[in-house]
Amino acid sequence: MGRKPSKNLNLPPRMRARLRGSTTYYLYDSGGRPRREIPLGTDYVLAVQRWAELHQAKPTEQLTVGWLISKYSCCDQFEAVSSGTQADYRYAFSKLMEHFGDAPLDELKPSHVTLYIDKRGKESKHRALRERAVLSMLYNWAIERDFCRFNPAGAVKQKKLLGRKHVYIHDDMLEAVYEKSPQDLKDAIDLAYYIGQRPGDLLDMELVKLRDGHLEYRQSKTGTVQRIELQGPLEDLIARIKERKAKFKVVSTWMLVNERGKKMTKAMLRSRFEKARAAAGISGRDFQFRDLRRKAGTDLRDQRGLDAAQDLLGHKSQAMTEHYTGARGRKVSAIPEKRRTGGMVDV
């Protein structure tokens, strides 16, 4: 028998803690001579789980949904996604923590998830389904690492909500909002329409990305590199933005700035757009800022064809562009003539 521990008395029998720098390492003391200690890792909850297997005892700590969220938030998979996706995940995590934070992973049931969707759906059906999907993703990640055996969120089948691919913004609607917009929002609307990119990409664009008569940037969602030639109304817009920015004392490389010359943020863009939209008497269901990307692609498809629309939007396949720009329907220029019966026109 080894000597009785004098510290870390809260640990289970034969479990040891060793502090190395700022990191605590947990080990299992298997006894014997010389003493043999089996590493259990640096995560206390997982260490207790492994201790239970070695000691043939019930674990004193359970893996919970809250623990899983904190574990996933520190993993490489989370770090690899875009900042926008991380923000969306964090928002979902905060809501899931409120309801399931203390729930043991193996005790959460599909019925619990269904009740959550029903309750959360009263606030937002879209967010309810989105958070179910995030919870399912977390469980799949946990199953791959043997943290649990069953995905209760994956067992809940929900009908997908209708997205916005059916929405097309007509010119009169756009002009109505444009007329009620301040100049910084007008710049954002014009830029969104001329280059057809996502709101996050627009806000991150810099004037230093203008090279050799082209606007160069990388789409944050897909990593696709785009080079759009500066010509016509886009060239005029860039000149107008430069002229407006030159009036501010603040020196900024960002393309979209507010009325004080500071970078336009997502919150600023949303606030200004919602005010202009309300002043124009248009509901959020009918027009959202992100719809400008689809309008740009759809209009260019009508003007220059599907290939041009695909290039502008940065899609990998024409099928994707076809689906994305299909809300307005195909332009038909030919109609059938009158029926002919026996070689004669049927009138």
> Residue 211 pairs with which residues in a beta bridge?
214
Tell me the percentage of the chain whose pLDDT exceeds 70: 90
Closest C-alpha to 28, from 42, 9, 6, 13: 13
pTM, two decimals, is 0.66
Contact 40, 27 (CB under 8 A): yes
The per-residue pLDDT for 81 is: 86
> DSSP label at 11?
S
Q: Which amino acid is at 264?
A: M
Q: At what angle do helices 266-279 and 183-195 cross, to 10 degrees?
A: 100
pLDDT at 25 over 60: yes
The per-residue pLDDT for 1 is: 47
- The tens digit of pLDDT for each residue in 116-125 reads 999 998 888 8
CATH architecture of the domain covering 171-317: Orthogonal Bundle (1.10)
